[in-house]
């Protein structure tokens, strides 16, 4: 299948590579032309210098930082919506805002372009191995079936979550739970450290007790206690996802004090340390005394 892939960042790079391994013909576009060129040299595929060069694409996949970036690709002054053929399918695999996804879907529908959301969950390691979890939202059953062969090259667990935007909603909710969990474990380790407890011992006990979770098993020892701080997911992106859930709670008129507090904590870490820092570095911001 011919497919255009927009955004070869940390996750997009291995995802696009897996499409090529799956036998699909892929054209790459990234705002960073040097990165696009490097990918295309390494993988012997076509490169678009401008996004409008993707006009003939039947399927376009975006893997970008946020909803605004995705909207610009389609609805900007030189966006794809102005040149795509009727019947094209746009698949947004970014971690976008579900409400903005629905707005974009309505705008693209006027141009006879179908939008699906298919965000992913998983580390860079899983992106490399093509074993991501993919959450598919959309209102066009035929379009979903058409793109599944593409998605199966990048993930081995696919969930159809409902109408357009539902995939992005589930992804944000998942990341909120992960962010809340990280904040809880981080504070436990900080409190324990000040009491004189060895953090490695604390994690070992948690991992055979009721506190065990993905973070205690796979993240905290290496990236926090070991101070590697290189999980591959930035502070800015995680803070953005938690803020997405906070807005979603407001939209559905849900009183969600835990969401508000977690959003506040991650926004604080982002603002103090910088959005580009690894999300595991948030603990450095939170290690503060009451009287500071």
Burial readout 109-132 (b: 16 or more C-beta within 10 A, e: otherwise): eebebbbbbbbbbbbeebbbebeb
Answer yes or no: 171 catalytic: yes
Task: Report the distance separating Cα 165 and Cα 170, nearest Å.
Answer: 9
Task: Report the distance separating Cα 261 and Cα 41, nearest Å.
Answer: 46
Closest CA to 84 of 118, 102, 110, 47: 110
Q: Could you give phi then psi for residue 93, rounded to 5 degrees?
A: -100, 5
Judging by beta carbons within 10 Å of its beta carbon (0-12, 13-18, 19+), is residue 41 exposed, middle or buried?
Answer: exposed
Closest CA to 92 of 72, 117, 75: 117
| Cβ atoms 25, 2 nearer than 8 A | yes
Q: Which one is catalytic: 21, 109, 148, 171?
A: 171
Bridge-based pairing state of the strands 2-6 and 59-62: parallel
* Enzyme catalytic residues: 171
């Amino acid at each position: 299948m011919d497919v255009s892939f927009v955004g070869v960042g940390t996750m997009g790079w291995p995802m696009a590579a897996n499409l090529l391994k799956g036998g699909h013909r892929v054209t790459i576009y990234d705002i960073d032309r040097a990165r696009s060129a490097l990918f295309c040299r390494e993988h012997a595929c076509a490169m678009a210098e401008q996004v409008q060069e993707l006009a003939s694409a039947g399927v376009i996949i975006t893997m970008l930082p946020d909803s605004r970036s995705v909207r610009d690709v389609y609805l900007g002054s030189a966006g794809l919506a102005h040149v795509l053929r009727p019947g094209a399918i746009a698949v947004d695999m970014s971690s976008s805002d579900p409400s903005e996804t629905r707005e974009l879907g309505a705008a693209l529908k006027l141009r006879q372009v179908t939008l699906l959301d298919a965000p992913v969950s998983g580390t860079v390691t899983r992106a490399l191995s093509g074993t991501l979890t993919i959450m598919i939202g959309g209102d066009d059953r035929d379009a979903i079936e058409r793109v599944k062969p593409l998605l199966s090259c990048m993930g081995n667990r696919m969930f159809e979550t409902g109408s357009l935007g539902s995939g992005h909603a589930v992804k944000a909710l998942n990341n909120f739970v992960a962010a809340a969990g990280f904040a809880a474990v981080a504070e436990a380790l900080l409190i324990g450290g000040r009491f004189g407890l060895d953090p490695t011992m604390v994690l070992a006990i948690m991992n055979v007790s009721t506190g065990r979770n993905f973070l205690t098993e796979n993240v905290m020892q290496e990236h926090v206690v070991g101070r590697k701080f290189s999980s591959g997911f930035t502070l800015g992106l995680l803070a953005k996802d938690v803020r997405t859930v906070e807005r979603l709670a407001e939209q559905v008129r849900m009183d969600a004090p835990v969401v508000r507090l977690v959003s506040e904590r991650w926004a604080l870490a982002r603002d103090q340390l910088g959005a580009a820092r690894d999300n595991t570095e948030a603990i450095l911001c939170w290690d503060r005394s009451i009287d500071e």
